[in-house]
Copies of this chain bind each other. A is one copy, B any other.
Amino acid sequence: MQETSDRPYHHGDLRRTIIETAMGMLDEEQGWQFTLREVARRAGVSHAAPYKHFSDKGALLAEMSMLGFDRLREKLTAAERRPFASHREELFALAHAYVGFGTSNPALYRLMFGADAGKAADIHSGERALAAFGVMLETLERGQKEGVLRKRPIQGQATTCWALVHGLTMLAIGGLLPPAKVGPDAMEAALAALLEGLEE
């Protein structure tokens, strides 16, 4: 009857389980205040087990953050792979995918960008975060080649796009874009203004 007999001494894939459990708690509690011990409890392991896979809580959070960038990149590439009538529509779709990712994973998104310490720079300049950035870059480059976009330094345009889209996401997550206060399509307006500023 001992549970000990059911569950083998070694979990088998604790690392993954810990991450998944923590991801769940991130969502539930809308923040990363959850305790490592509670994660362990839910995973059904002892309170010190997580330390065999993550040097400290920060390391776990960092891994979760990177995982977030992986998912973001996937969502962006998926959005961009579909056929489009125009380059403008493609950019629109990309932007929507980005904001959609943020609004449907608010806590994760905040974690990705709000990382407490100065670790932010490390995470964001990591390969996995840059990959997400890369998707947008490629689309912009294509736009310039096709002559749809003004030929300005590509990095500047990319910065503009990312900044606008990131800002929109944050505002949306913070509940600062309620249709009642800001109009039914404040976001569309913002994206339109952006494109009008970028296009030839």
Interface residues of A (CB under 8 A from B): 30-33, 110, 113-114, 116-118, 120-121, 124-125, 152-153, 155-160, 162-168, 170-171, 173-177, 181-183, 185-187, 189-190, 192-198
Contacts and interface: CB of A to CB of B under 8 A. Distances in A.
A160 B182 CA distance: 11
A114 B158 CA distance: 24
B152 A189 contact: yes
A181 B193 CA distance: 26
Contact of A159 (B118, B159, B190): B190
Contacts of A195: 197
B117 A174 contact: no
B183 A153 contact: yes
A164 B165 CA distance: 8
A163 B168 CA distance: 5
Contacts of A173: 120
A158 B171 CA distance: 12
A11 to B, nearest CB: 30
Nearest 5 CB-CB pairings of A with B: A197-B197, A156-B189, A163-B167, A167-B167, A114-B114
Nearest to A159: B186
Given A157-B193, A167-B167, A175 B30 contact: no
A157 B120 contact: no
Contact of A171 (B162, B185, B189): B162
A113 B164 contact: no
Nearest to A122: B175
